[in-house]
Amino acid sequence: MTAIHDRAEAVREFNRFYTRRIGALGAHLGTAFSLTEARVLYELAHRERPTAGEIAETLELDRGYLSRLLRAFKKRGLIRTKVSPDDRRQTLLQITTAGRRAFAPLDTGARKGIVEMLEPLPAAQQQRVLDAMRDIHAAFGNAPTESTAPQPNPNPYTLRTHRPGDMGWIVHRHGVLYSKEYGWDERFEAIVAHVVADFVDNFDPVHERCWVAERNGEIVGSVFVVRKSKTVAKLRLLLVEPSARGLGLGSRLVNEVIGFSRNAGYKKIVLWTHPELISARKIYKAAGFELVAEETHQLFGQPMTAETWAMKL
pLDDT computed for residue 23 by the predictor: 57
pLDDT digits (tens, 9 = 90+) for 74-121: 999 999 988 877 777 778 899 998 988 888 887 777 777 777 878 888
pLDDT digits (tens, 9 = 90+) for 208-248: 999 999 988 899 999 999 999 999 999 999 999 998 988 89
Of 105 and 138, which is predicted with more confidence?
Answer: 105
Domains in the chain: boundaries:
31-140, 158-312
Of 155 and 188, which is predicted with more confidence?
Answer: 188
pLDDT bin (cut points 50, 70, 90) of residue 144 is very low
Residue 1 has pLDDT above 70, yes or no: no
**59: number of Cβ within 10 Å:** 13
Of 68 and 105, which is predicted with more confidence?
Answer: 68
Share of the chain above pLDDT 90, in %: 46
pLDDT computed for residue 198 by the predictor: 96
pLDDT computed for residue 5 by the predictor: 74
pLDDT computed for residue 30 by the predictor: 54
Lowest mean pLDDT segment, chosen from 5-9, 52-56, 185-189, 220-224: 5-9
Q: Domain spanning 158-312: which superfamily?
A: Gcn5-related N-acetyltransferase (GNAT) (3.40.630.30)
Establish whether domains 31-140 and 158-312 are of one fold. no
| Topology of the domain covering 31-140 | Arc Repressor Mutant, subunit A (1.10.10)
Mean pLDDT of the chain: 84
In this prediction, residues 144-158 reach a mean pLDDT of: 50
Residue 29 has pLDDT above 60, yes or no: no
In this prediction, residues 31-42 reach a mean pLDDT of: 80
pLDDT computed for residue 148 by the predictor: 37
pLDDT computed for residue 138 by the predictor: 65
pLDDT bin (cut points 50, 70, 90) of residue 193 is very high
pLDDT computed for residue 7 by the predictor: 77
Of 282 and 123, which is predicted with more confidence?
Answer: 282
Q: What is the 3-state secondary structure (H, E, C) of the chain?
A: CCHHHHHHHHHHHHHHHHHHHHHHHHCCCCCCCCHHHHHHHHHHHCCCCCEHHHHHHHHCCCHHHHHHHHHHHHHCCCEEEEECCCCCCCEEEEECHHHHHHHHHHHHHHHHHHHHHHCCCCHHHHHHHHHHHHHHHHHHCCCCCCCCCCCCCCCCCEEEECCCCHHHHHHHHHHHHHHHHHCCCHHHHHHHHHHHHHHHHCCCCCCCEEEEEEECCEEEEEEEEEECCCCEEEEEEEEECHHHCCCCHHHHHHHHHHHHHHHCCCCEEEEEECCCCHHHHHHHHHHCCEEEEEEEECCCCCCEEEEEEEEEC
pLDDT digits (tens, 9 = 90+) for 170-187: 999 999 999 999 889 999
User: How far apart are alpha carbons 307 and 280 in whole angstroms?
Assistant: 12
In this prediction, residues 288-312 reach a mean pLDDT of: 92
